[in-house]
Amino acid sequence: MGRALAAIQKNVNRQLRKEARNTSNGFQIGVRALSDVPNQLEFWDSQESVFAKEVGSLPAETTLEGAAQADALGLAINLDLVNQEVLDFTSTYTNEWWSRLSGSTRTAMRAAITENIATGAPLRVLESNLAPLFGRARARVIAATETTRMYAEGNRIGYRSAGVTRVEFQTVRDARVDPLCDALQGQNLAIDDEANFPPIHPRCRCWVAPVTTEGEVLKDPTAGARITTKLEEQIGKSAIGKTRNLGGGINETKMAHVRGDGDVVLKPQSGLVDRTIRTGIRPGGDLAREVSAFRVDGHLGRIGRVPETIARTDTPLGESMVQAFIGDSQTLAEIRATAGRIGSVEDFSLFDAVIGNLDRHAGNVLIDNQGRQIMIDHGLAFPERVRLTQFDGNFFYMNRVGTTGGGDITLSSEHLRLLRGFQSKRKFVTEELAGLGLEDDAIEAMWDRVAWMIDNTRYMGQQSLADMTLDLGYRTRI
Ligand SMILES: [Zn+2]
């Protein structure tokens, strides 16, 4: 959404400048020309194309994910019917979305232009007054609201195809739930109850659960509160002792003891290098990325065995990543010196491809005293875009694709299942990661990689990434 708005902003500013140039003929003509921009049908029609191109297949994908929820809950859905209804819905949806978006944008523009003319301020003041209309905050509100709308419609389509006639309104039950939605929590609704279907308000995150003919409310256990491990809780609240240097990597890394018999690794926000290390990775966002990698690993069945990772502000070093320390372990680099290559790499290859890790090497794979491989250091994952030459640091590429000349490595059926399950939780995972502070574009890019791997049943290495850039069906950020 951010990209669509940014593109439209550019065009709007260009159009305003073009019309303002007419002022050389006299002030009144210019005023009329400027005021006319929000009303120029031809101009706004062309912006609809910009919008539709950016939105692409997202509505169909999201609606299908909502419908797939019915399947995940064990309902017997009618796939032909679902596909047809999703098609029917999305054929008009993008257009309606654009009507809502352009309508509110043009209304706000009219007010800003009127004020600008009244004050006689220069055009750049008008442009900066209009900036929030096209900014990240608005993009985020729109994306969240519309995702909820598409997902709820998908729920409806999926549930209905399985013969469900009643649903129960569900909020995400956290402190940020709007009072309007809180009042609806748990209410039994007819499946066609348009007025009470999410979204109820901008940024609404609610959804609907199906009620079976026996009256049972089916809920996805993954949609509710996340289950935290005991260790995660411990490192999240225990007092952190004196820190000492751990070294390794380019960012400051410390170690400390926590009460309750454990050690943790700390990466303080203040110790992060303040320069771009990889294209598409914003400096300073490491904490959100490290915690996100741990959370994504959890959703993928912990295939990466990423140690418990959280962000805390109350450490002796201020805001820091706090991660369980894996004692009695060696890095793969140390092991390799004596034992050569070890173990299966597919789990980690999948994990790295999902999180878009641009920094996997034998120094950030630990082998614990039971021979298990543990992935650490994810500060350079979740790129908003990737340059091809950077992705070949990918562990899988180094170990398998690299040695098979970039050959076609098919996803295992187990991994395909994991990815599908992960994708079906898209709405919830997106909210979770955004809540951790991960950039919207980085989250979107992750879903692009996941969709690509599912559609092609291949792991992603450098060659796959090259293929993906050629595939116009994907809005790749490369
Ligand atoms: Zn809501």
pLDDT greater than 60 at residue 396: no
Q: Ligand 1: distance of its center to the CA of 224 in Å? A: 14
Q: Ligand 1: distance of its center to the CA of 446 in Å? A: 25
Q: What is the pLDDT of residues 31-43, one digit of tens each?
A: 667 888 999 999 9
The whole-number average pLDDT for the span 7-13 is 96
The verdict on residue 387 lying in a domain is yes
User: Do 171 and 65 belong together in one domain?
Assistant: no
User: Do 373 and 466 belong together in one domain?
Assistant: yes
Give the confidence band of 200 by pLDDT, cuts at 50, 70, 90: very high
User: Do 108 and 201 belong together in one domain?
Assistant: no
Q: Ligand 1: distance of its center to the CA of 41 in Å? A: 34
**Per-residue pLDDT, 266:** 93
The verdict on residue 441 lying in a domain is yes
Q: Ligand 1: distance of its center to the CA of 347 in Å? A: 36
Q: Ligand 1: distance of its center to the CA of 152 in Å? A: 11
Q: Ligand 1: distance of its center to the CA of 146 in Å? A: 12
% of residues, the chain, pLDDT over 90? 37
Q: What's the pTM?
A: 0.64
Q: Ligand 1: distance of its center to the CA of 223 in Å? A: 14
**Per-residue pLDDT, 445:** 85
Q: Ligand 1: distance of its center to the CA of 160 in Å? A: 21
Q: What is the pLDDT of residues 285-302, one digit of tens each?
A: 999 999 999 999 988 888
More confident residue, 337 or 315: 315
Domain end marker among 212, 241, 273? 212
Q: Ligand 1: distance of its center to the CA of 8 in Å? A: 29
User: Nearest 5°: phi and psi at 203?
Assistant: 70, 15
Q: Ligand 1: distance of its center to the CA of 198 in Å? A: 6
The verdict on residue 48 lying in a domain is yes
The whole-number average pLDDT for the span 252-260 is 83
Give the confidence band of 464 by pLDDT, cuts at 50, 70, 90: low
What's the structural domain count of the chain? 4
Mean per-residue pLDDT of the chain: 82
Q: Ligand 1: distance of its center to the CA of 206 in Å? A: 4
More confident residue, 141 or 396: 141
Characterize 170-179 residue by residue with b for buried, 16 or more Cβ atoms within 10 angstroms of its Cβ, and e for exposed: bbbeeeebbe
pLDDT greater than 80 at residue 24: no
The verdict on residue 395 lying in a domain is yes
User: Do 353 and 431 belong together in one domain?
Assistant: yes
Q: Ligand 1: distance of its center to the CA of 278 in Å? A: 38
Domain end marker among 265, 299, 324? 324
Q: Ligand 1: distance of its center to the CA of 280 in Å? A: 33
User: Do 179 and 101 belong together in one domain?
Assistant: no
Q: Ligand 1: distance of its center to the CA of 171 in Å? A: 6
User: Do 250 and 373 belong together in one domain?
Assistant: no
Q: Which domain holds residue 208?
A: 165-212
Q: Ligand 1: distance of its center to the CA of 169 in Å? A: 9
The verdict on residue 287 lying in a domain is yes
CATH number at residue 237: 3.30.200
More confident residue, 226 or 266: 266
Q: Ligand 1: distance of its center to the CA of 189 in Å? A: 15
Domain end marker among 161, 190, 222? 161
- Please tell me the least confidently modeled range out of 105-109, 117-121, 471-475: 471-475
Q: Ligand 1: distance of its center to the CA of 352 in Å? A: 33
User: Do 150 and 266 belong together in one domain?
Assistant: no
More confident residue, 427 or 393: 427
The whole-number average pLDDT for the span 24-50 is 79
Q: Ligand 1: distance of its center to the CA of 32 in Å? A: 42
Q: Ligand 1: distance of its center to the CA of 177 in Å? A: 6
User: Do 22 and 155 belong together in one domain?
Assistant: yes
The verdict on residue 220 lying in a domain is no
The verdict on residue 225 lying in a domain is no
The whole-number average pLDDT for the span 83-101 is 94
- For residue 21, the Cα-to-chain-centroid distance in whole angstroms is 41
More confident residue, 236 or 99: 99
The whole-number average pLDDT for the span 48-66 is 89
pLDDT greater than 50 at residue 340: no
pLDDT greater than 90 at residue 433: yes
**Per-residue pLDDT, 14:** 94
**Per-residue pLDDT, 235:** 87
More confident residue, 320 or 32: 320
- Please tell me the least confidently modeled range out of 255-264, 276-285, 416-425, 456-465: 456-465
pLDDT greater than 70 at residue 390: no
Residues with Cβ within 5 Å of ion ligand 1? 181, 200, 204, 206
Give the confidence band of 465 by pLDDT, cuts at 50, 70, 90: low
Q: Ligand 1: distance of its center to the CA of 444 in Å? A: 22
User: Do 320 and 439 belong together in one domain?
Assistant: no
Q: Ligand 1: distance of its center to the CA of 433 in Å? A: 18
User: Do 371 and 402 belong together in one domain?
Assistant: yes
Q: Ligand 1: distance of its center to the CA of 195 in Å? A: 13
The verdict on residue 222 lying in a domain is no
Q: Ligand 1: distance of its center to the CA of 341 in Å? A: 51
Q: Ligand 1: distance of its center to the CA of 170 in Å? A: 8
User: Do 175 and 88 belong together in one domain?
Assistant: no
User: Do 169 and 27 belong together in one domain?
Assistant: no
